[in-house]
A and B are shown apart, each in its own frame.
Chain A
Amino acid sequence: MSLAQHLPALQVVLPLISAPLAVLSRRAGLAFLIVTAAAWTAFAIAIALWLQVDLSGPVSYPIGNWEPPWGIEYRLDRLNSFMLVLVSGMAAIVLPYSRASIEREIPQESHYLFYAMLGLCLTGLLGMSITGDAFNLFVFLEISSLSTYVLIAMGRDRRALTAAYQYLIMGSIGATFIVIGIGFLYLMTGTLNLADMVDRVARIENSRPGLAALAFITVGVSLKVALAPLHQWLPNAYTYAPSSVSAFLAATATKVALYALIRFYFTVFGDAFLFEKLPLPKMMLVLSLFAMFFANFIAIFQDNLKRLFAYSSIGQIGYITLGLSFDSVDGVAASIMHLFNHGVAKGAIFLLIGAIVARLTTRQAAPPAPGFDRIAGLAKSMPWTCFGIVIGGLSLIGVPGTAGFISKWYLVLAAVDKGQWWLVGAILFSSLLAVAYVWRFVEAAYFRAPPAGREAFGEASLFLLIPAWLLVGATLWFGIDTSFTVGSAIEAAQQLVHSHQ
């Protein structure tokens, strides 16, 4: 076999190896180089795999040449090849940013551990996306979760420890539920291979253990997704984690969990059963609406920018699950493209907030919270940073010309298609809540006078600004040229949604 055929394995193995190498190097600079190289290679591999799936259809890769369903299978289709591009792309952008960003956020002596953890986190998320094996998915989920707890705890604010602990407890409960659900499925079907499970689940899914498995997986994955009301861990985690970690998590972690949800719902259990025989669509609809209104509303009243946009993330997750609940090609496609579009925009925003925090931080004290009083009048000294946040915010609102508009278009179209006019109103009205919190930032940064006693400082360093603006540019790019996002999402949705074919 040539090297090209091993790309699915290399996709996960390279970041995995980079982590221990980073630890062994024990030097920040070297660790940075190793993990960054791994992330960029992973990004290149992801693009190659996406092209391969695009040209010649799904790819199956037996790990260690053990034939599936006995061995672990890596299986790539439209949906997860798209996820791989998102996850590895975000890592490739966040890592170079981290170098300058953690300078004052994390003690120098543990920088190399930070890179190792980021490499592990990337490994876990890529593995969750690529694997076609239920138990393997759980293992990678744990790899990503455990490394995430460490990454959050590295924040210099002491509250980062409680945030990490909170997430540890919630995340472990979630992981336990998932493994119990997978256990039930294994018990009933005798297989762990997701593709192999499909036919067998169809025979048992209406049994009590089948439904119990579904319930455990739903709750467990929803915890990782931070679907309201299981979102409590998220605001603290995003607020107190180091800036680059917030950006990476916001753009990828909840998105990969959503991917797992889509995988279990649409591939394994099948939407024909879930969405027509069970009250699941109604349940998801209610929870989604709750997230859209409650979290977006709470976001308006936050004083800390990181926390504000964390709540905004919870609200945006509501749009994604709302699209799933429609169980139509347009609706599911809207969800899949919003995974990507929101990930890019929110990543950009958190990177830029990180740039603000870096300017506000002094060597001695812990990084101050980017509150509205502290950022007052900031647009004068940091015009590019503030303008980038505004563009990201416009994408959250769904202004045409930004990526957010594209997903909103499909989501509303799906609601119109279902004849649900009140939902059209709900989607659009909740997006106006985003106007409120984005404009709180605009008014503070552009209209208020800088607080007395704040030292004058200039624009953020280019090491922070360039990665962030790459994402800002992507937010605009994917609002205009959508052949990649819309194309992938529609085709993935067509593969997933069966009941209407």
Chain B
Amino acid sequence: MNVEELILAALVLPIVGALGIVVANRSPNVREGVTLVTAVAVFACVVQLVAPVLAGSTPLVSLVEPLPGLPVAFRVEPLGMLFGLVASGLWIVNSIYSIGYMRGNNEKNQTRFYVCFALSIAAALGIAFSANLLTLFLFYEILTLITYPLVTHAGTDKAKHGGRVYLGILMGTSMLFLLPAIIYTWHVAGTVDFRPGGILPAGLAPVSVTVLLALFMFGIGKAALMPFHRWLPAAMVAPTPVSALLHAVAVVKAGVFSVVKVVVYVFGSSILAGTTQWLIAIAGFTILAASVVALNADNFKRRLAYSTVSQLSYIVLAAAVLAPLSTVGAALHIVSHALGKITLFFAAGAIYTAAHKTEISQFDGIGRRMPWTMTAFTIGALSIIGIPPFIGFVSKWYIMSGAFSAGMLSVAAVFMLSTLLNAAYLLPIVHRAFFRPPRHDDHHGHDGHHGEAPLPIVIAICITAAGTLVASLFPDVLIGLAQRIGTGGAI
């Protein structure tokens, strides 16, 4: 296949897979087989795109033109390549995990779950490879809608309420802020294509630039910049594989990806110079405030959710610093947070499946019963905190270097403080799990007799934990891609 066909294949295969899943409805083993085969095939397509992109080519595929001069088109450039790798690669692991989780918990409507999951991967890849704002917006909204049935999977009143918040905030921000931002960009620039160095005319008044930036930043609600972060904790009602999809594979990553993409390819650093102070302040506040909330959360998934809110603003902040090194860091952090956070969520789901525990205060001594899970959790936590030799350290290193190179010591201070807070809300869990004796006054039915989680879950969690290490030991491809972002190449 040539490069253009590979791009289309990566986008179409998940949809074909979804149809296959529907057809295989009656036989769960075949159904999950279809999911896995599709996931591997999609990843194979995406991986084959890496070499051409590293060589500097940015292949373009144009489909239809819904609006004159505004095609639905796909162009693979280094940033989208990174996000595409994350989404398609983690889909494989997440599918393995889902098999263990969905069967282990006897979830209903599993076919619907796998179908929506496959389609949301297609939407995420559509975002990753979008060549202009219209295409990005199209798949951004599709991703919101297709994940809605996943978030509300349980069908309970609580799920319905969580779904309302999820949809209300994501659709509300995108309709109220992102859409006018795109239309205004089209109005002043005459194009909404992503181009290195930006597309906005140089003469645009700083006030207009600031307003436009604000519309974009708050319009991309999936980046969970405060005060539009509440959908993320609300969506915790979903099954854990969905939380992993939201937090690591697709949704929030689509948000921060869009933020970086817009900053680099729509604005460009020259037109933004001096107008991003407020964004740095809000992102910095989000980092710290969300960490503090996480510190006080006893519910495991809620703590992880607020950790995500905080970590996402790392990326927004890094993009807002505008230094080349911090942009590299922002892109790398998309990968590193994905690997780290998916491990943590897998651990949450593993504990829920094996022990039916959701509160951190119940985790005393659980590391002895679930050694694999909790070891992997520890590795993921260390990566999120930013301790070498894990990938979280690499991305944080670049972000900090960028902040120093731009002379923003206050930004560096925020990151230092946040690292401490990360450690403060993640390490006590490790301590509880391994160093406290198990409590026997457990009023749950499973008091103490549970062991490790089902095998697929353990396999998946070990893969992602190992990923944080492997990515850090062999970072050439990732860093190579990240360094090429916005450099132009052949775009």
CB proximity to A under 8 Å, residues B446-472: none
Contacts of A481 in B (CB 8 A): 64, 66
Contact partner, A432, options B65, B137, B138, B172, Cβ 8 Å: B172
Q: Which of B72, B183, B184 has the most CB of A within 10 A?
A: B183
Asked whether A413 lies within 8 Å of B64 as measured between CB atoms, the reply is no
Asked whether A428 lies within 8 Å of B66 as measured between CB atoms, the reply is no
B145 proximal to A (CB < 8 A): yes
Tell me the minimal C-beta distance from B208 to chain A in angstroms. 11
Please tell me which stretch of A12-20, A319-327, A393-401 contacts chain B, meaning at least 4 of its Cβ atoms lie within 8 angstroms of it: A393-401
Closest residue of chain B to A403 (Cβ to Cβ) is: B66
Main secondary structure of the interface of B (DSSP, over half): helix
Asked whether B187 lies within 8 Å of A401 as measured between CB atoms, the reply is no
B404 proximal to A (CB < 8 A): no
Contacts of A443 in B (CB 8 A): 160, 164
Contact partner, A480, options B68, B72, B167, Cβ 8 Å: B72
Contacts of B172 in A (CB 8 A): 432, 435
Asked whether A428 lies within 8 Å of B187 as measured between CB atoms, the reply is no
CB proximity to A under 8 Å, residues B45-69: 64-68
Tell me the minimal C-beta distance from A443 to chain B in angstroms. 6
Contact partner, A439, options B134, B142, B167, B183, Cβ 8 Å: B167
Asked whether A401 lies within 8 Å of B167 as measured between CB atoms, the reply is no
Contacts of B68 in A (CB 8 A): 486, 490
Asked whether A480 lies within 8 Å of B64 as measured between CB atoms, the reply is yes
Contacts of B142 in A (CB 8 A): 400-401
Contact indicator per residue, chain B 108-146, by CB within 8 Å of chain A (1) or not (0): 000000000000000000000000001001100110010
Tell me the minimal C-beta distance from A410 to chain B in angstroms. 8
A479 proximal to B (CB < 8 A): yes
B155 proximal to A (CB < 8 A): yes
Q: With the chains together, A401 CA to B184 CA distance in Å?
A: 20
Cross-chain pair count, CB within 8 angstroms: 70
Asked whether B176 lies within 8 Å of A425 as measured between CB atoms, the reply is yes
Q: With the chains together, A482 CA to B160 CA distance in Å?
A: 35
A457 proximal to B (CB < 8 A): no
Asked whether A400 lies within 8 Å of B138 as measured between CB atoms, the reply is yes
A406 proximal to B (CB < 8 A): yes
A424 proximal to B (CB < 8 A): yes
Asked whether B187 lies within 8 Å of A417 as measured between CB atoms, the reply is yes
Closest residue of chain B to A434 (Cβ to Cβ) is: B175
Number of interface residues of A (CB under 8 A): 30
Contacts of B171 in A (CB 8 A): 397, 432, 435
Contact indicator per residue, chain A 426-464, by CB within 8 Å of chain B (1) or not (0): 001101100100010001001100000000000000000
Asked whether A431 lies within 8 Å of B72 as measured between CB atoms, the reply is no
Could you say which interface size class chain B belongs to?
20 to 34
Contact indicator per residue, chain A 379-415, by CB within 8 Å of chain B (1) or not (0): 0000000000000001001111100001001001100
Contacts of A406 in B (CB 8 A): 66-67
Asked whether B176 lies within 8 Å of A479 as measured between CB atoms, the reply is no
Asked whether B187 lies within 8 Å of A413 as measured between CB atoms, the reply is yes
Contact indicator per residue, chain B 171-199, by CB within 8 Å of chain A (1) or not (0): 11001100110011011000000000000
Asked whether B180 lies within 8 Å of A416 as measured between CB atoms, the reply is yes
Contacts of B141 in A (CB 8 A): 399-401
Tell me the minimal C-beta distance from A296 to chain B in angstroms. 14
Contacts of B179 in A (CB 8 A): 412, 428
Q: With the chains together, A490 CA to B67 CA distance in Å?
A: 11
B152 proximal to A (CB < 8 A): yes
A394-B145 contact, Cβ under 8 Å, with A480-B72, A481-B64? yes
Tell me the minimal C-beta distance from B489 to chain A in angstroms. 29
Tell me the minimal C-beta distance from A492 to chain B in angstroms. 15
CB proximity to B under 8 Å, residues A476-492: 479-483, 486, 490
Contacts of B180 in A (CB 8 A): 412, 416, 424-425, 428
Asked whether B176 lies within 8 Å of A428 as measured between CB atoms, the reply is yes
Asked whether B183 lies within 8 Å of A409 as measured between CB atoms, the reply is yes
A439-B164 contact, Cβ under 8 Å, with A399-B141, A401-B138, A412-B183? yes
Tell me the minimal C-beta distance from B74 to chain A in angstroms. 15
Contacts of B184 in A (CB 8 A): 416
Q: With the chains together, A401 CA to B72 CA distance in Å?
A: 10
Q: With the chains together, A483 CA to B64 CA distance in Å?
A: 10
Contacts of A428 in B (CB 8 A): 175-176, 179-180
Contacts of B187 in A (CB 8 A): 413, 416-417
Asked whether A432 lies within 8 Å of B175 as measured between CB atoms, the reply is yes
Q: Which of A399, A406, A482, A483 has the most CB of B within 10 A?
A: A399
Q: With the chains together, A308 CA to B89 CA distance in Å?
A: 44
Contacts of B138 in A (CB 8 A): 400-401
Asked whether B145 lies within 8 Å of A399 as measured between CB atoms, the reply is yes
Q: With the chains together, A417 CA to B176 CA distance in Å?
A: 18
Q: With the chains together, A417 CA to B138 CA distance in Å?
A: 23
Contact partner, B66, options A417, A446, A480, Cβ 8 Å: A480
Q: Which of A397, A401, A429, A432 has the most CB of B within 10 A?
A: A401
Q: With the chains together, A375 CA to B137 CA distance in Å?
A: 33
Contacts of B155 in A (CB 8 A): 446-447
Closest residue of chain A to B148 (Cβ to Cβ) is: A442
Asked whether A479 lies within 8 Å of B160 as measured between CB atoms, the reply is no
Tell me the minimal C-beta distance from A196 to chain B in angstroms. 35
Contacts of A479 in B (CB 8 A): 66
Q: With the chains together, A412 CA to B67 CA distance in Å?
A: 14
Closest residue of chain B to A411 (Cβ to Cβ) is: B183
Asked whether A435 lies within 8 Å of B145 as measured between CB atoms, the reply is no
Q: With the chains together, A417 CA to B187 CA distance in Å?
A: 7
Q: With the chains together, A459 CA to B425 CA distance in Å?
A: 51
Tell me the minimal C-beta distance from A480 to chain B in angstroms. 6
Q: With the chains together, A413 CA to B64 CA distance in Å?
A: 21
Q: With the chains together, A159 CA to B272 CA distance in Å?
A: 62
Extra pairs beyond A401-B141, A482-B65, A486-B67 (11, CB < 8 Å) = A394-B145, A400-B134, A400-B142, A412-B179, A416-B184, A425-B176, A431-B175, A432-B172, A435-B167, A435-B168, A447-B152
21 contacts between A and B (CB under 8 A): A400-B137, A400-B142, A401-B138, A401-B142, A409-B183, A412-B179, A413-B186, A416-B183, A417-B187, A428-B180, A429-B176, A431-B175, A432-B171, A432-B172, A435-B168, A435-B171, A439-B164, A443-B160, A447-B160, A479-B66, A480-B66
Residues of A within 8 A of B (CB): 394, 397-401, 406, 409, 412-413, 416-417, 424-425, 428-429, 431-432, 435, 439, 443, 446-447, 479-483, 486, 490
Q: Report, nearest first, the 5 A-B pairs whose CB atoms are least far apart.
A: A400-B138, A416-B187, A447-B160, A412-B183, A424-B180
